[in-house]
A = this chain, B = another copy of it.
Amino acid sequence: MSDESIPTEASDLRAAAMRLARRIRQQRSVTTMTDAQFAVLVNLHLHGPHTLTALAERDGVTAPSMNRTVNCLEELGFVTRVAATDDRRKVRIAITDAGSVVVRETSERRDNWLAQILGRLDDAERRTLHSAAEIILREVHR
């Protein structure tokens, strides 16, 4: 394979990634919850409690912006704030049981939607998609 095919490959890969991600985002269990809120929930669900600053840095937003998102999640009962014991400036933000349920339900819904598509494919094509996912997860860092 020669290098002159890279531009076309890049363009196709870009179109495919954007379309697939858009359709995945449409699948959610709580339709009133936004992407910003769900991203925070997933982070807390997978990696445990964080400070406000850590959450903001992880999602590439400012602290005041993350503060508002956390306020919304707190009002919805999906996260809790607890003052840190060691450094009294810090606040420990943790996911609640209700928040974990939302993450699991939405993840399931998204995976079920994708599994429908995978189920239409033959083994070779499914292998191709799985290999592609592994390459992307290995080469593209958050």
Contacts and interface: CB of A to CB of B under 8 A. Distances in A.
Interface in A1-55: 1, 3, 5-7, 9-25
A118 B10 contact: yes
What is the interface of chain A mostly: helix, strand, loop, or mixed?
helix
Contacts of A115: 6-7, 10
A125 B19 CA distance: 21
Interface residues of A, number: 50
Given A16-B132, A17-B20, A21-B21, 14 more contacts: A7-B115, A9-B130, A10-B114, A13-B129, A14-B110, A17-B17, A19-B136, A20-B136, A20-B140, A22-B142, A128-B128, A128-B135, A129-B135, A132-B133
Interface of A: 1, 3, 5-7, 9-25, 107, 110-112, 114-115, 117-121, 123, 125-137, 139-140, 142
